[in-house]
Chain A
């Protein structure tokens, strides 16, 4: 019993511990400027991407093509804006791009019955070629400084009532995914799919249709991340989305420790994303170079995994 409790709050404890540690050891960590920079520059994008990953992993799958959806959306959005297409139309185009990637995955997984890992891996590869072919090998598309529409700048750097717009996007997508996963019928079916796919199928759930929606939604939310990314850097940089893949997977699984039954959940994922970003930022501030930061982050993920899987072991052993 005690093991269970401690493993459930391992993530929160780790978060409090690193926060306290960096606040005490550096003078620069606990400043409004730094905290805001963590939230806006690092936390926001990964958090949005991780929403899709959380849903996919909750459904018993995985989405390796999150980077592809981000990149394709960014490619369409920036190209459209550069060609003076109206912003709403460009936004729609970007969302359609993410939708397309998601629908492609959905078709492969739900109808061709390819395992999610391999299906999305295939999409990732195809997405790389598409981007290389359409940018002559990976040339970024920049918006010329004088020609950036105000709406574009607003998405990337604007604030509403003092709150950065990127964080509002995070809050909105988190709210949507909390509702989907925790409070909707669809979410219950997704949970059933992830926990007991065989039982879900025998119970008469329309497994294929629900699975398809999972990947479509993941593609869509990644497109949102792609739009925010484009607006933040004012450019489309080919193949940049993959940088979020491993951290999104890591954050989602870190987040599973926050659930009583070890399942992916939106609040847990957000805490996981926050932990990864605080550690990266803090290690930078205490003067660890970039190289040691990566080691540190790896070790930290490892420790949280040890605690969470250690606490879950008896549980799963009985289930198996």
Chain B
């Protein structure tokens, strides 16, 4: 579905290069290949690791990737609105540290004796504020997204330390108890939240005019402006969305770890990988919400399978790295030569 919507938006590269049937076939192959890889990994673990293919384990994986998944979904919005070019296009390097700051705010507000409502509101406001700072610096001050969000990342990391003094702030509340629990269906609530956020964003991004316009803005900004779209508002909204996703993810992370912990910044690269890897699950090789969700699950399954097979976790990073390179090499071979 998302793909038919996007095919209306001609990317500049595609227009200039005559599209051959061969390239189309190759794209289909890559996409089928990535889905096949997904299935192959799945089957390999199912055969090799007893316990992998149990409903309980799979449900656990969905829960384990919830935090990174929600962050990556927010990042996807920014990538869609800013375009695929990593340096000049959209990227939000501040997501992981925004999560850290939001988690610290949530835990601190709870610790001061406020209820869940106030804590949630404070957390959402924090996430939106960071998003707003990013939006202002990227859209109105014209700073490269990579740099603007890098500065925001540092500021968030600092503010988190100021709030928590680099310690773990324990937190408990009725909401957190619910989030840390299991649904009757056996899927952790965290996983349900991830799926819920994904469905919500997928509807907005792939089924509404606003979503289509966001793709138009990211695909060719000048053309979108010429067509009369409020380009600035769309790009700004994508950063606000990313900030909000970070605050949602922060509550999940507090529920998972029973408090705010340090070192959330380490998640950044995993989030970037998840959001960028998702591209291969779409036919036109663009960022989509289902693609990001699939890639989050794929990475989660990979790590989980490694654990079940007792393979040292030291391999995980390397395998992720090789995976990015394989995927990107394959896709960049297929893109028209855009030097």
Chain A residues, Cβ within 8 Å of B44: none
Chain B residues, Cβ within 8 Å of A320: 222
Q: How far is the CA of A18 from the CA of B166 in the complex (A)?
A: 27
Chain A residues, Cβ within 8 Å of B222: 320
Q: How far is the CA of A60 from the CA of B87 in the complex (A)?
A: 9
Residues from 287 to 320 in A contacting B, C-beta threshold 8 Å: 290-299, 301-302, 305-306, 309-310, 312-313, 316, 320
User: What per-residue 1/0 map shows which CB atoms of B307-339 lie under 8 Å from chain A?
Assistant: 000001011111111101100110011000001
B269 within 8 A of A: yes
Residues from 113 to 170 in B contacting A, C-beta threshold 8 Å: 137, 141-144, 146-148, 150-159, 161-162, 165-166
Main secondary structure of the interface of B (DSSP, over half): helix
Q: Most chain-B CB neighbours within 10 Å: which of A130, A133, A253, A305?
A: A305
Chain B residues, Cβ within 8 Å of A124: 269, 321
- Known interface pairs A108-B329, A122-B325, A125-B318. Does A302 touch B137 (Cβ–Cβ under 8 Å)? yes
Residues from 252 to 268 in A contacting B, C-beta threshold 8 Å: 253
Q: Is A115 in contact with B328, judged by CB distance below 8 angstroms?
A: yes
Q: How far is the CA of A249 from the CA of B316 in the complex (A)?
A: 26
B151–chain A nearest beta-carbon distance, Å: 4
B299–chain A nearest beta-carbon distance, Å: 12
Chain B residues, Cβ within 8 Å of A197: 339
B251 within 8 A of A: no
A247–chain B nearest beta-carbon distance, Å: 9
Q: Is B158 in contact with A129, judged by CB distance below 8 angstroms?
A: no
A21 within 8 A of B: no
A188 within 8 A of B: no
Q: Most chain-B CB neighbours within 10 Å: which of A292, A293, A296, A309?
A: A309
A203–chain B nearest beta-carbon distance, Å: 11
Q: How far is the CA of A244 from the CA of B224 in the complex (A)?
A: 38
Q: Is B166 in contact with A305, judged by CB distance below 8 angstroms?
A: no
Q: How far is the CA of A219 from the CA of B153 in the complex (A)?
A: 26
Chain B's closest residue to A197 (CB) is B339
B157–chain A nearest beta-carbon distance, Å: 6
Chain A residues, Cβ within 8 Å of B293: none
Q: Is B339 in contact with A201, judged by CB distance below 8 angstroms?
A: yes
Chain A residues, Cβ within 8 Å of B153: 246, 298
A202–chain B nearest beta-carbon distance, Å: 8
Point out the residue from B155, B165, B166 that lies within 8 Å of A302, measured CB to CB.
Answer: B155
Q: Is B151 in contact with A298, judged by CB distance below 8 angstroms?
A: yes
Q: Is A128 in contact with B328, judged by CB distance below 8 angstroms?
A: no
Q: How far is the CA of A119 from the CA of B141 in the complex (A)?
A: 29
Chain B residues, Cβ within 8 Å of A299: 151, 155
Chain A's closest residue to B94 (CB) is A298
Q: Is B316 in contact with A113, judged by CB distance below 8 angstroms?
A: no
The bracket for how many chain A residues form the interface is: 35 or more
Q: Is B314 in contact with A250, judged by CB distance below 8 angstroms?
A: no
- Known interface pairs A112-B332, A246-B150, A305-B151. Does A313 touch B162 (Cβ–Cβ under 8 Å)? no
Q: Is B316 in contact with A291, judged by CB distance below 8 angstroms?
A: no
A121 within 8 A of B: yes
Q: Is B273 in contact with A121, judged by CB distance below 8 angstroms?
A: yes
A132 within 8 A of B: yes
B147–chain A nearest beta-carbon distance, Å: 5
Chain B residues, Cβ within 8 Å of A118: 86, 276, 324-325, 328
Chain B's closest residue to A317 (CB) is B142
Chain A residues, Cβ within 8 Å of B314: 129, 132-133, 137
Q: Is A295 in contact with B318, judged by CB distance below 8 angstroms?
A: no
Q: Is A198 in contact with B339, judged by CB distance below 8 angstroms?
A: yes
Q: Is A246 in contact with B154, judged by CB distance below 8 angstroms?
A: yes
B61 within 8 A of A: no
B272 within 8 A of A: yes
Residues from 98 to 126 in A contacting B, C-beta threshold 8 Å: 108, 112-115, 117-119, 121-126
Chain B residues, Cβ within 8 Å of A298: 151-158
Chain A's closest residue to B141 (CB) is A306
Q: Is B318 in contact with A306, judged by CB distance below 8 angstroms?
A: no
Q: How far is the CA of A60 from the CA of B325 in the complex (A)?
A: 19
Q: Which residues of B are in contact with A by a Cβ distance under 8 Å?
A: 85-87, 137, 141-144, 146-148, 150-159, 161-162, 165-166, 222, 269, 272-273, 276, 312, 314-322, 324-325, 328-329, 332-333, 339
